[in-house]
Amino acid sequence: MTLEAKAPLPKLSKPKDTEMPEARHYKLLINGEWVDGSTGEEVAVHSPVTGEIIGYYPKASKEDIDRAVKAAREAEEKYRLMPPFERAALMHRIAEAIDRNREKLARLKSLENGKPYEAEALPCVDETAENFRIAAEDVKRLESAIIPSRDGNKRIFTFYRPYGVWTTITPWNFPTLIPSETLAPGLAAGNVIIFKPSEYAPLSGLAMAEAMMEADLPPGIIQCIPGEGPTVGDWLVSHEGVDAIAFTGSDRTGRIIASRAGLKHLLLEMGGNGPTIILDDADLEKAAELTAFGCFYEAGQVCCATERILVHKNIHEEFVELMLEQARQVVLGDPMDENVTMGPLCNEMTARKMERHIADAVEKGAKLLYGGKRAEGYPTDLYYEPTVIDLVPEDALISHEESFGPLAAISVGEDDDDLIRLANIDRYGLQMGLFTSSIRRAFYFADRLRTGNLVINDNTDYWEPHVPFGGAGGTVSGHGRIGGKYTMLDMVYLNTVVLDFMNVRD
């Protein structure tokens, strides 16, 4: 297969309205107040877009964690008894506050994370607010059963009760949206939450917490302490005053959390590795367009990104050419430029993983067709070229690890059963994609793919906030479900009350 000369990647332009604001010094949110950390130290946050410092956050100590947990325990005693409709009203007020801060949150997200402002950052903020609206309505319908008793003098009631004090630990790729997936249903259900944003995107989390506090929340029901996982994260996870933990991130970190949490209740969403399967009866042009979106949206930094592409051998060469056309259309550059479709990677860790995975695949026989390296001429070296790599062998790291970058990694299957085998070889099972025009083949695959979610004839980044999302059993993608009422049901426990009315006075 011959490859056309690739078009030059665009240079980064920096319009006047994207000049960097003065770096702000943020504080910790503890018991309804914004306070300095007890260490007196600060951590600088650099933008992957420009390399400049965009803010500072306090370096927290174990003492700060103890204060936050103490405040949470005191707040939980009252908050859990607040009527559900009052909690629902709080969630609507939070959504309105996030709407008021929409542009500020999106701009900060672009600078801190690299998301294109119009195409990705603004929609991310909008869905953050929507999650609070969904939770507000879901809690009004959090109904439980009345169970018949074999004793005619008894009535058996069930009630959903909040677990109590939660810690929510979230990653950097969607620094307001992913937190809202547990903050909203958790608070709506009567829990109180200590929120630890990622150290790679702490300012967006702190700014969201600021917006939430505009909703006149009771002190202590939401607290925000960013910091590194081995310190702040571990102190929270292992603290005896914390009842439950919600975590989104890598399976490696998830294993550590599970080992440190003891008997605490866990809600874990721990990533995926695609893949998307292209059958020989698919609409190939549409499949390539949507698959490329799954590869390059958010620069591939999505847990359900199209990491791997498994193509039926009959249409392999045609599909590869279509994917190359799609890759050439990606515009890499300044996230504040409305013409840009892909910004930089968020951090050096992700860029190095891309380099390691691509080098490994090529060494094992894969063919690098487009991109495959850091782009030159940009303010930081986190701008990574959209990459297409073909004939990826099944023993390559790409086939078994989450790359988390702008990568279209293509492998070939001999027939339907071989494609199913290839899809199921790795340890993940979060969200897969399938392109086919046959209902029969669609359900043949649906019954055999080991995945929590399967998207047929659309990209693997397809998402609706009220739909259950999570890993398949027997995989390392986690357990529990993110999405609407399904998350709320994971953040409450069932309480049974038996009443013998023969011994009750009228």
Angle at 65 between CA 260 and CA 69, to 5 degrees: 90
Residue 7: pLDDT over 50: no
Contact indicator for 483, 465 with CB cutoff of 8 Å? yes
- Who's near 360: CB < 8 A, 6+ residues apart? 396, 397, 398
Q: How confident is the model at residue 22 (pLDDT cuts 50, 70, 90)?
A: confident
Q: Work out whether strand 244-248 and strand 265-269 pair parallel, antiparallel, or are unpaired.
A: parallel
**What is the mean pLDDT of the segment spanning 481-503?**
95
CB 188 within 8 A of CB 135: yes
User: Is the CA virtual torsion 487, 490, 491, 494 positive or negative?
Assistant: positive
Per residue in 383-394, pLDDT (tens digit) is 999 999 999 999
The predicted pLDDT at position 165 comes to: 98
Question: In which band, very low, low, confident or very high, does the pLDDT at 20 lie, cut at 50, 70 and 90?
Answer: low
pLDDT in tens, 32-74: 999 999 999 999 999 999 999 999 999 999 999 999 999 999 9
Which range has the top average pLDDT, 4-18, 314-328, 492-506?
A: 314-328
Read off the pLDDT of each residue in 358-386 and give the average, rounded to a whole number. 97
Percent of the chain at pLDDT above 70? 96
483, pLDDT greater than 70: yes
Indicate whether 358 pLDDT > 70: yes
Residue 504: pLDDT band (50, 70, 90) is confident
Residues 6+ apart with CB under 8 A from 69: 165, 194, 236, 239, 241, 242
The fourth-level CATH superfamily of domain 16-270+481-492 is Aldehyde Dehydrogenase; Chain A, domain 1 (3.40.605.10)
13 falls in which pLDDT band (50, 70, 90)? very low
Phi, psi at 98, each rounded to 5°: -65, -40
Give me the mean pLDDT over the 200-227 stretch: 98
Q: What is the pLDDT of residue 503?
A: 76
| pLDDT surpassing 60 at residue 478 | yes
pLDDT of 351 strictly over 60:
yes
The answer to whether residue 237 scores a pLDDT higher than 50 is yes
Enter the tokens of residue 225: 């302490």
DSSP state for residue 176 in the 8-state scheme: T
What does the domain layout of the chain look like in residue ranges? 16-270+481-492, 276-464
Note the pLDDT tens digit of each residue in 318-333.
999 999 999 999 999 9
| Mean pLDDT computed over every residue of the chain | 95
298 SS3 class:
helix
pLDDT at 266 over 80: yes
Q: Is the pLDDT of residue 222 over 60?
A: yes
Query: What interhelical angle do 202-213 and 84-100 show, nearest 10?
Result: 120
Q: Give me the pLDDT at residue 506, please.
A: 66
* Lowest-pLDDT choice from 15-24, 74-83, 206-215, 269-278: 15-24
- Please say if the pLDDT value at position 15 is more than 50: no
- The DSSP letter of residue 124 is H
CA count, 13 A, side-chain hemisphere, 405: 32
pLDDT of 12 higher than 80: no
pLDDT for 447: 98
Whether 211 and 115 have beta carbons less than 8 Å apart is answered as no
Provide the pLDDT for residue 17: 45
Confidence of residue 201 (pLDDT cuts 50, 70, 90): very high
- CATH number of the domain located at residue range(s) 276-464 in this protein: 3.40.309.10
> Quick one: pLDDT at residue 502?
84
H or E element that contains 453: strand 453-456
Any idea which residues carry the catalytic annotation? Answer: 269, 303
| Over residues 342-356, mean pLDDT | 97
pLDDT at 501: 87
Backbone φ and ψ of 230, nearest 5°: -65, -15
pLDDT at 26: 98
Residue-wise pLDDT tens digits, 379-431 = 999 999 999 999 999 999 999 999 999 999 999 999 999 999 999 998 999 99
pLDDT of residue 19: 60
Place of tokens 């959209």: 386
